[in-house]
Structure 1
């Protein structure tokens, strides 16, 4: 059987790089999707030093630039005959609130809309692989911070939106997207999972101003390493399905176990609503 292929967004540092390194050791072929060519090349060299036999390829796209997302998905679909795992890992907490020209908060646009469009344009390849293997997985990085999110704020220009509310909205959208994928792709052999990696010491929040930013810097030594934070993503990407649980498609995981969500906006109806609201962007 051929080695499985995984695509990881935001794979040049932090959780993404730790996940890539671990999956390389499990004989996955890697596709790293990074915004920066230079940082992506550095990550490739780092992974190859760690696992010299790994097959690794770099593609570049900006998740906030949907034309570049469509182009890279088309390139991957043409170049690869299979894609077993898609890990939508990239995301950030905004230092300031900014909006796209059509009024969408920028971190929400990159974290949700960009990943929705990427996933949509990779679906044919994912479905082809699932038809052959019966086992394809989409993993969306979320956070326990989803409890701060509100579906009512999605896609709206809100001038007094706080950076933490924006981050909560992003993470809530990641969970609803995961549920939506499970509902839309039921019976195809494609399963979806969302992940809380824990409080991880990366460059997360490094640009956050004021007291909260100082608090994050002070707390950094107490946080998990990226390697520990990546363990749940690695578990969901590489473990046998029976270890994950057949009934957990669309579920939320932390510490490699299925967990309950902590936001009343996580409903099937809201997952369907988010799917329909996201379709015009594809």
Structure 2
């Protein structure tokens, strides 16, 4: 059994799988939260190879479906006595714009609202662990693309929104969520961070069409590997808090260092607003 337990969403491929294998090698037990069970089981086998001594479990959930996320959280709360690290890693750029039944752009729901619901319903377990250890961390995968996000578009049904604008909104929300979580959970022993992994050579944007997709494929040659892209998440999950810096709770990190956000909407006031607005979905 591992020394700590980490849950990673979207852990069946790319950055999520790479992060899971690296944490297994650091003696973390892993919970792999995946949408597709078969892909999750294949990832489970890979992570077990990285360290056969740790526990690796797969739980399925669709982050674009609130009921699915709540059921997964209930299962985790029933079956685990501790949760030291929650890495909200999953996200995607939609091939086309779709909306959920309640009018939310689907990638925003999966990237932000689904993760908010998951985190909210795991807070008791996270707080319990923090009382015992004094050190629990919530890590959200953002991106430099947060610069293209706009708070004014959040939660709105906008048929004309582009896939890239939607992705920017998702990543801005991830950054704001980390800021809000750090503030809301201050004094509990839980810290929160957002991460820019860099331009990583994964299946990201593989479903997109048009000129943007072609440009992205050409750029893949110059992108960093998933192993390089996962380093900041691994650092924030496993480094001593002193190395991260107490003053950086709620911060945005790139290349394992704090970095200033590149969006005027990345404010504490907007973070508070997003948290309160998201509570309606829990």
The answer, yes or no, to whether TM exceeds 0.5 is yes
Residue in 2 aligned with 1:191? 191
In the alignment, the residues of structure 2 paired with residue 2 and residue 231 of structure 1 have an alpha-carbon distance, to the nearest angstrom, of 20
Alignment length, in residue pairs? Answer: 282
The aligned counterpart of 2:165 is 165
- Structure 1 range deviating more: 108-117 or 203-212: 203-212
Match of 1:205 in 2: 205
Q: Which runs of 5+ in 2 are unaligned?
A: none
Q: Specify the alignment match of 2:103 in structure 1.
A: 103
Cα displacement string for residues 128-181 of structure 1 (whole angstroms, at most 9, x for unaligned residues): 000011100000000000000000000001111011100000000001111110
2:271 is the alignment partner of 1:275: no
> In the alignment, which residue of structure 2 is the partner of 1:4?
4
Please say if 1:141 is aligned against 2:155: no
Residue 235 of structure 1: aligned partner: 235
Aligned to 2:76: 76
Q: 2:38 matched to 1:60? A: no
Residue 94 (structure 2) aligns with: 94
Determine whether 1:29 maps to 2:46: no
Residue 49 (structure 1) aligns with: 49
In 1, Cα distance between equivalents of 2:101 and 2:242: 45
Task: Summarize deviations over 1:190-239 as a string: whole Å, max 9, x none.
Answer: 00000000000000011111111011111112111111100000000000
Shift of residue 52 of structure 1? 2.0
State the SS of the aligned residue for 1:202: coil
- The residue aligned with 1:250 is 250
1:178 corresponds to: 178
Please tell me whether the aligned partners of residues 201 and 220 of structure 2 are also in contact (alpha carbons under 8 angstroms).
yes
SS at match of 1:258: strand
Contact 2:2 2:54 in 1 (8 A): no
The Cα shift of 1:2 comes to 6.3
Structure 1 runs, 4 residues or longer, greater than 3 Å off: none
Taking the aligned partners of 2:8 and 2:202, their CA distance within structure 1 comes to 17
Report which stretch shifted further, 113-122 or 53-62: 53-62
